[in-house]
Amino acid sequence: MNTSLKCAPIASAVGLAVAMAVSAFSSAHAQTQLLAFASEQDNGSLNADIVPQPNVLDETHISVDVPARLRRQVVDYPTAEAAGTVIVDTPNTYLYFVLGGGKAVRYGIGVGRAGFTWSGTRTIERKSEWPDWFPPADMLERQPYLPRFMAGGPGNPLGARAMYLSGTMYRIHGTNKPSSIGTHASSGCIRMLNADVIDLYGRTHIGTKVVVLPMNYRHVAQAASIVPTNPRRNAGIFDQSMR
């Protein structure tokens, strides 16, 4: 008798059982990994720096609800700094673009949380539209679930524009989280609404002076008038950048 014919059904049955066991194990393993990742996300959100949100809409096309004090506006701002200077008022979460004549455009911003604030005078050394994001090593240590790279776009934590500050790892950039404006939550970068960072981007150039004031600074400028957003201009920039 040909023993191979007798063994064939047995081998098939054993193979089927093994395949089913491997499939069940793989499914359970994948489910465990998913739960572990979700747990990391939940734990990390308590001290999150910036988190990618790939499905969010670009806020240059929608109305962003922020307190009146954080909306872009022209204010009285006497300063010895020349027109064209950017001044970051860290404790009050404002950024000023000096117009001259005692006036400035004021924007609401998000700044570094406790232990991550800094001060000094720098210049803008590079500018980028819809920048890619490479989380630095120290951020990855705190939030290991973050991607190692994220292409520029509306869901990118750096938002619509970025202005890189000389001699530092810090940037003035947009955000995919408008609710963080007015807070002390970043790792030292200065966050702005996307519509606001597009506006500031157009006013600055390579070499623009940036003065970052320390946390113990106390001064709040008085509003003079609101600077309206130009939806047509913003939409045009968005469409061009996404081609």
* Amino acid in position 107: Y
Within-domain flag for 89: yes
**Helices 194-203 and 231-241 sit at what angle, rounded to 10 degrees?**
90
CATH number for position 127: 2.40.440.10
Q: Number of folded domains in the chain?
A: 1
With a CB cutoff of 8 Å and minimum separation 6, the contacts of 115 are none
Q: Judge if pTM exceeds 0.75.
A: no
What's the length of the chain? 243
Residue with tokens 């609101």: 226
Within-domain flag for 11: no
Residue 210, domain extent: 59-241
pLDDT digits (tens, 9 = 90+) for 11-50: 444 444 444 544 444 444 444 343 333 333 333 332 334 4
Within-domain flag for 23: no
pLDDT digits (tens, 9 = 90+) for 157-185: 899 999 999 999 999 999 999 999 999 99
Within-domain flag for 8: no
Within-domain flag for 33: no
Give 139's pLDDT tier (boundaries 50, 70, 90): confident
